[in-house]
Structure 1
Amino acid sequence: MLTLQRKQHLLEILERDGQIVAKTLSEQLGLSEDTIRRDLRQLAKEGLLQRVHGGALPASPALAAFAERQQISPDAKPAIGRAAAAMIQPGQVVFIDGGTTAVQLVRQLPQALQATVVTHSPSIAIELVTYPHIEVIMIGGRLFKHSIVGVGAAAIEAIGRIRADLYFMGVCSLHPEAGISTGDFEEACIKRALSDAATKTIVLASPEKLDTASPFQIAPLNQVSEIVVNAGVADTLIAPYRKMGIAITLA
């Protein structure tokens, strides 16, 4: 089998099975594990999959630029945002992440809501300008342009001085084995700090993020209290999280 044919075959297996196990595949194809791993490395460089220990998982479309991500799951994100917005109670202090799904969350908040929103996202802060009873606290730092959020040591220090009731986390990828992950090391550190500083972490997961992986792990799944997903998602995709004791809200 030629290299190009092998790579195409690997991608077909990944699409069919949702994962590649290098050892199993090497036995099936009669090839060395080194050959399979080399092909996986090359496919990962092309952004066609995400390498993990022992094989590969689908890469997340959420690694694309912000403008492109706005076009992904246009119906699911408002529904997820609506369900998440309903969880916020008057008087609470809430961390809201950056990202396209989080923008939908703040757009669904009632105008009369009295709460404090802490965010490292200028986009989220601007969306909240017209809410007269929501106090907005902005976390500064270096602007990570991919997600339009503040990152860095100053942001982490500021987060560490706040205790929030809820943290609505946006993610690039969610997988029952690979956990919660994103495409940037510093952004992963910020998300981890926000989760550590909140009583409850709620993950906003539009359909394209499920069963995918990104390079940098944010936190173990046992740190997640709840996942909000679109009602049309297959039960097989969310069943593993229910088994872990994570609450699932179908939007």
Structure 2
Amino acid sequence: MLTSQRKQHILSALQRDGNIVAKSLSEALGLSEDTIRRDLREMAAEGLLQRVHGGALPLAPAGADFASRQQLASDEKVLIGRAAARLVRPGQVVFIDGGTTAVQMARHLPRTLQATVVTHSPSVAVELAAHTQLEVVLIGGRLFKHSVVAVGAAAMAAIARIHADTYFMGVTGVHAEAGLTTGDLEEAEIKRALMASAAETVVLASSEKLGVASAWVINPVTAATTLLVSPEAPAKALAPLRKAGLTILRSDHGG
């Protein structure tokens, strides 16, 4: 089998099964495990998959810059954002993450809501500027321009001094084994700190985030309280997450 044929076979198997085990694949193809591992290394370097111990997982979609993602906010993200906004109760202190789904959540918070939103996302804070009943606390630090969020030691220190009711978290990957992942080391550290400072964590995940992985692990999926997905989220992708013990909540199509 040619290298190109092997790689196509690997991609097909990833799409079909959701993971690759190097030893099993080498046995199935009658090839050495070293050959399969070399293929996986090369494919990871080409941005085709995410290597993990013993094999590979589908790679979380490569992130466009924030402005591009904001313009392309999918219907799924609108539905998830609206459903997340409905989970905030009067008097609560909540963390809202950065990202396009988080912006959608901010847009759908009622203007009459009396609560406190803490965010390290200037974009989320600006969305909430006209909410006269809402207290908005903006966490500062070094601006990570890709996601337009504050990161670094100053942000970590501020987060550690807050006890929130709920953290509404964005991720690039949700996988039963690989966990909750994101594409940047410092973002992963901030998200982990936010989880530690909140009583509950609700993960906001559109369908392309399910069953895939990025390089930087935030926490196991079981560290989250709830996974909020859209009605379009495929049952096949949700089944292993539910089996792992994650509570799954589907948003609805309603207005």
TM-score of Structure 1 vs Structure 2, range by shorter chain: over 0.9
Q: Secondary structure at the match of 2:237?
A: helix
Match for residue 127 of structure 1? 127
Q: CA deviation at 1:223?
A: 1.4
Q: For residues 105-184 of structure 1, what are the structure 2 equivalents within 5 Å?
A: 105-184=105-184
Change (3 A) 1:73 1:236: farther
Could you tell me how far apart the structure 2 residues matched to 1:243 and 1:73 are?
Answer: 30
Cα distance in 1 for partners of 2:237, 2:169 equals 19
Consecutive unaligned residues in structure 2, runs of 5 or more: none
- Quick one: distance in 1 between partners of 2:203 and 2:217? 14
Does the residue aligned with 2:211 lie in a helix, a strand or coil?
A: coil
Deviation at 1:72, TM superposition (A): 5.8
Q: Which residue is equivalent to 2:216? A: 216
What is the DSSP-based 3-state SS (H/G/I as helix, E as strand, rest coil) of the residue aligned with 1:202? strand
Distance across 2 between alignment mates of 1:5 and 1:27 = 16
Contact 1:73 1:208 in 2 (8 A): no
Alignment CA distance shift 1:194-1:188 (3 Å): same
1:230 has 2:230 as partner: yes
1:135/1:239 CA distance change after superposition, 3 Å:
same
Contact residue 101 and residue 170 of structure 2 kept, 8 A? yes
Q: Deviations over 1:80-137 (max 9, x none)?
A: 0111100100111110000011011011111000111110111101111111011111
% identical aligned pairs: 63
Q: Which amino acid aligns with 2:137?
A: I
Counterpart CA distance in 2 for 1:181 and 1:90 is 30
Give how far 1:194 is off. 0.1
Aligned to 1:43, the other structure's residue is in SS state helix
* Structure 1 partner of 2:197: 197
- The question of whether the paired residues in 2 share the 8 Å contact of 1:73 and 1:206 is answered with no
CA contact (8 A) 1:62 1:209 kept: no
Question: Distance between the aligned counterparts of 2:47 and 2:73, measured in 1?
Answer: 20
1:240: Cα distance to partner? 2.8
Counterpart code for 1:115 = A
Once the 2 structures are TM-superposed, how far is the Cα of residue 35 of structure 1 from its aligned partner?
1.2
Kindly indicate whether the alpha-carbon contact (under 8 Å) linking 1:62 and 1:208 is maintained by their aligned counterparts in 2. Answer: no
Q: Which amino acid aligns with 1:166?
A: T
How far does residue 62 in structure 1 lie from its aligned partner after superposition? Answer: 5.3
Supply the AA of the counterpart residue of 2:185.
F
Q: Who is 1:248 aligned against?
A: 248
Structure 2 CA distance for partners of 1:146 and 1:47, relative to 1, 3 Å: same
> Hey, what does 1:52 align to over in structure 2?
52
For the Cα contact (< 8 Å) 2:174–2:221, is it kept in 1?
Answer: no
Instruction: Name 2:30's counterpart in structure 1.
Output: 30
Whole-Å separation in 2 of the counterparts to 1:25 and 1:240: 21
| One-letter code aligned to 1:48 | L
| In structure 2, C-alpha distance between the alignment counterparts of 1:167 and 1:78, rounded to whole Å | 18
Q: Deviations over 1:132-178 (max 9, x none)?
A: 01111111111111111111111101100000001000000001111
Aligned 8 A contact 1:62 1:69 in 2: no
* Letter paired with 1:162: I
For residue 240 of structure 2, give the secondary structure of its aligned residue in structure 1: helix
How far residue 243 of structure 1 moved from its aligned partner, in angstroms, is 3.1
Secondary structure, in 3 states, of the residue corresponding to 1:6? helix
Partner of 1:20: 20
Question: More deviation in 128-137 or 55-64?
Answer: 55-64
| Residue deviations 1:159-204 (CA, integer Å, cap 9, x gap) | 0000000100000000111110011111000000000000000000
- With normalisation by structure 1, the TM-score equals 0.96
Q: Number of matched residues? A: 251
Q: Secondary structure at the match of 1:63?
A: coil
Residue pair 2:116, 2:137 contacting (<8 A) in 1 also? yes
